[in-house]
A and B are shown apart, each in its own frame.
Chain A
Amino acid sequence: MKIGRITGSVVCDKKTSSLSGVSLLLLQPLDENYRGKGTPIVACDTVQAGTGDLVLYEGGREAALALDNWFNPSDASVVGIIDSLEDV
């Protein structure tokens, strides 16, 4: 899992049928100091995360496994909302 911040939502009227009902979020991966690292990615939501939330997200094959319908095309999914963490 990695740490990121939700910066917005992505509305997609037409999408592959297996992703219907899944909300998509714009997620900015973060570095050690909570600064943005790289370009924002689009991630599937499983925990009702909202803009500004610090979240845990999973990439790769396991991202799809987080969704109710695991047989779908997803390479990033939000799997938790972070309440607190310790700094480096």
Chain B
Amino acid sequence: MILARVIGPVVSTVKVKPLDGHKLLRVRPVNPDGSFSGSSIVAVDTVQAGKGDTVIVIDEGGSAGVMLGETGQPVRTVIAGIVDGIETEEKVQ
């Protein structure tokens, strides 16, 4: 799992059937201190996350299938939780 911040929704009308009914959010990986650490990816939301939320993202197909309740789907990136706080040795957020 990686830490990421929600950038905003991605709207797509024409998409593969397994993605129908799922909310798609653009997320960008962040470091524990909150700074961005990579380029953004699009994830399926399963936890009703919103813009600006720090979330944990799974980027692996098997786990994504488990999260969505059906394996064998063309989805590998899902949001698995909303982060309330991160505690590190340097700083407590």
Interface of A with B (CB < 8 Å)?
1-3, 31-32, 37, 46-48, 56, 58-63, 65-66, 70, 77, 79-88
A84 to B13, CA, bound (A): 10
Question: What separation, in Å, do the CA atoms of A10 and B65 have in the docked complex?
Answer: 31
Nearest-CB residue, chain B, relative to A29: B39
A3-B16 contact given A82-B10, A86-B9, CB 8 Å threshold: no
- Taken together as a complex, chains A and B put the C-alpha atoms of A88 and B43 apart, in Å, by 15
Query: A44 to B43, alpha carbons, bound, how many Å?
Result: 20
Known: A62-B76, A65-B72, A86-B26. A80 touches B41 (CB 8 A): no
Contact of A85 with B11 at beta-carbon distance under 8 Å, contacts A1-B41, A46-B16 already known: yes
